[in-house]
Structures are given as C-alpha cells and as structure tokens.
Amino acid sequence: MKYRRKIFLEDKIIERLKQITKKVSGDFGVEIVNQETDKDHIHILFKSNPKTDLTKLINSLKGVSSRLLFKEFPEIKKKLWNGALWSPSYCLITTGQVTLDQLKKYVESQGKNASI
C-alpha cells in the first residue's frame, strides 16, 4: 500500500507485537490461532464468541500495540508518515467459505520471509 512503512523487520519488534496481540485478545476472551507479520502489517487468525465486539477488539489491538511499541522501540515512530503505527482501516474476514486449515496456511504464508 502507498502509505505503509516497513517497520516489522526485526524479530524483537515482531515478537513483542505478537505478545501484545495475544494479551489484548485474551483480555477480550479471544483466542489467537495464528499470527504473522509482513514487513508493514500483521495477519491475525483468531476464534471469538459471536457476541465479541470486534470493533472494540481491533481498536484495542491497535491502540495498545502502538502505545507499547512506540514506548519500547522509539525508533519506529521516526519511520512513519504521521507518527501513526496503524491506519484507521482494517480487513476482517469470517470463515464461512474456507476451512480453518486453509486460513492457517494463508496466515503462515504471510511471514516476513514469505514471497507471494
């Protein structure tokens, strides 16, 4: 994407982001099945209760992760256009037409070393 910056290049940043998403998701009662970063975004496969407020979950994931990553890795902020880690948009896909295994394979293929 035009405005994305490649900030997920170091293992320590990637691992910290994954820790944060697991913690925040757990606070919402959501189970992370798999997650992988690309250089400029993250794919998260999760299981949730139908009553989970997904908008609140995603906003919390974005807010907490940006706050903690900026605090722990201040060099990230210098690489961004306007100091914002995440764009206001997101893509949310339900598993109605594909199997869980297909989704897992897709998320795994999005790792930083994957070439698609």
Rg over alpha carbons for the chain, rounded to the nearest Å, is 14
Structural domains of the chain in order of their starting residue, each with its CATH number = 11-108 (3.30.70.1290)
Question: Does the annotation count 3 as an active-site position?
Answer: no
The pLDDT score that the predictor gives to residue 114 is 46
- 104 with 35: CB under 8 angstroms? no
Query: Which one from 54, 86, 106, 107 is the annotated catalytic residue?
Result: 106
Phi, psi of 86 (to 5 degrees): -115, 145
Tens of pLDDT along 9-46?
899 999 999 999 999 999 999 999 999 888 888 989 89
Q: What is the pLDDT of residues 58-94, one digit of tens each?
A: 999 999 999 999 999 998 888 876 778 888 888 887 7
pLDDT of amino acid 112: 52
| pLDDT for position 28 | 97
